[in-house]
Structure formats: structure tokens, C-alpha cells
């Protein structure tokens, strides 16, 4: 993670074109919103910060930005998700995230316990008005943005013809930020999903993508379940000559 300027936190919103889609999902909040009773202060502070004080409602604040909003609070010695909006999950459900601490959230990840400890130390030391940013990425079979379960995408990959690979494969990038809330001491974790077909990838970036795809092996590759798409991806790399 690296620090970024405050004015680059949620702006420019590179995915603002998905706001109408996100707002439709938020109109049925039972599937995309969770809040812990009695922890409204951090949720309210989050809403005010995201919306420049225009709203105290987490749902309405989330509708103003493409990012999903996850509020983490330190309770009984552990950082725990106490409220969130989740419209574009990358292969996990909202109930797998809500009311879970960092250890539980990262349990499926290789070396997840060590990662959770490192993240906890970052949360503990984070100062208000400091924003940290990181990115992760994967490839997926199709343009689906709301993907709480990756199984349908993997099943789709098994049936796609090789000649259709370039049209159906998409690069999915998560831009993540964390920011400590000055009043409650909670940490706001934001997730912005950027989803683009591989046809948009500049030719000069194709070798870098191929190298990154092939470099991940062992537990990391198994965790991401990339083997389901390897047939399509490697055929496309062959066409590209990388």
C-alpha cells in the first residue's frame, strides 16, 4: 500500500459510468447492505466523509460513488466489519464479510493469518487524513460486475470456444483504499472495481500481463482458481505472440 493525496481519494471516479447500475442494486438494500445495531456512529461518520457532509445515511452515500464502502472497527482486540455496502464483490458474499474480523476475512488467502496481522498493524498505526491505496487484479470470463460467487464464471469458461476468448475475457482490477475516521477511530475500506475487456489492453502491455499470469503458481494460483481459464488465456496469449 502507498499513500496518496487526499484529493485523489475518491476522485476522479473512474467508474462513474456504473453509478446507475449500482443505484439499482442499492434500491434493494437487503442484498447489498449490512449494519450492526449500536454501531451507527462509525457508519454515519463514513457517510458524511464520503458525501462531504451531504448525507448521514450509508446507503445514500454509497450511491454517490462507484466504490463499495466497508467500515472496520476495533472491537475486543480485533478489527471487525461492522457495516458495509457491497455491490461488486469479487467472489465473496456480503454475509461472508459482515461481522467478520481480519483473521476470518483473510482465512482463505495463502498465509492469511500473517497477512491479517500485518493489515491489523497498518490499521492501528493509520492516522486521520492519511489515505493508503493498493490494487489487485484477476481475469474473468465475462463482463459480470456483481460476482459473489465465481463458480458461474468458471463454468462459462469451460464452454467458451477458443476463438471467442478475446471477446469474453475481461481484466478485473480492484482499487482499494483505507482511511481512518477521526471521530470514531474506525477504518473505512473502499473497493472500486474496474472491469474492461482484454481487447482494450494496449499491445505494449500484453507481455506484462502474460508474465504476471504465468508467474503465479502453487497456493496462490489455486486460491485464485486460474486453472479454470488457463485454456482460454494461454490460447489468447499464443495469438498475441506473448
- How do residues 204-231 score in pLDDT, each as one tens digit? 999 999 999 999 999 999 999 999 999 9
Please name the residue ranges forming H helices in the chain: 19-26, 40-50, 58-62, 94-97, 102-105, 112-125, 151-159, 165-168, 206-215, 218-224, 230-240
Residues of the chain scoring pLDDT < 70: none
Collapse the DSSP code of 123 into the 3-class scheme (helix H, G, I; strand E, B; otherwise coil) and give the result.
helix
**Domain edges within the chain:** 2-240
Round to whole Å and give the CA distance between 107 and 109: 6
* pLDDT value of position 221: 94
- How do residues 121-140 score in pLDDT, each as one tens digit? 999 999 998 999 999 999 99
Q: What is the pTM of this model?
A: 0.95
* pLDDT value of position 20: 97
Amino acid at each position: 500500500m502507498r499513500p496518496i493525496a487526499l484529493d485523489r481519494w475518491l476522485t476522479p471516479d473512474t467508474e462513474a459510468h456504473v453509478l446507475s447500475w449500482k443505484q439499482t442494486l442499492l434500491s434493494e438494500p437487503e442484498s447489498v447492505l449490512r449494519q450492526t445495531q449500536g454501531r451507527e456512529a462509525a457508519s454515519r461518520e463514513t457517510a458524511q466523509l464520503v458525501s462531504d457532509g451531504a448525507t448521514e445515511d450509508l446507503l445514500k452515500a454509497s450511491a454517490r460513488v462507484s466504490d463499495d464502502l466497508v467500515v472496520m472497527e476495533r472491537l475486543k482486540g480485533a478489527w471487525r466489519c461492522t457495516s458495509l455496502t457491497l455491490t461488486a464483490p469479487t467472489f465473496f458474499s456480503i454475509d461472508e464479510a459482515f461481522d467478520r474480523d481480519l483473521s476470518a476475512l483473510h482465512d482463505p488467502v495463502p498465509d492469511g493469518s500473517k497477512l491479517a496481522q500485518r493489515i491489523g498493524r497498518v490499521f492501528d498505526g493509520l492516522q486521520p487524513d492519511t489515505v493508503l491505496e493498493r490494487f489487485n487484479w484477476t481475469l474473468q470470463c465475462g463482463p459480470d460486475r456483481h460476482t459473489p460467487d465465481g463458480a458461474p464464471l468458471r463454468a462459462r469458461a469451460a464452454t467458451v470456444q477458443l476463438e471467442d476468448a478475446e471477446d469474453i475475457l475481461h481484466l478485473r482490477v480492484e482499487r482499494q483504499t483505507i482511511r481512518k475516521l477521526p471521530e470514531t477511530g474506525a477504518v473505512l475500506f473502499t473497493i472500486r472495481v474496474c472491469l474492461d475487456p482484454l481487447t482494450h489492453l494496449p499491445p505494449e502491455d500484453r507481455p506484462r500481463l502474460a508474465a504476471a499470469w504465468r508467474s503465479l503458481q502453487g497456493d496462490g494460483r489455486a486460491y485464485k482458481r486460474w486453472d479454470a481459464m488457463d485454456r482460454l488465456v494461454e490460447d489468447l496469449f499464443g495469438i498475441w505472440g506473448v
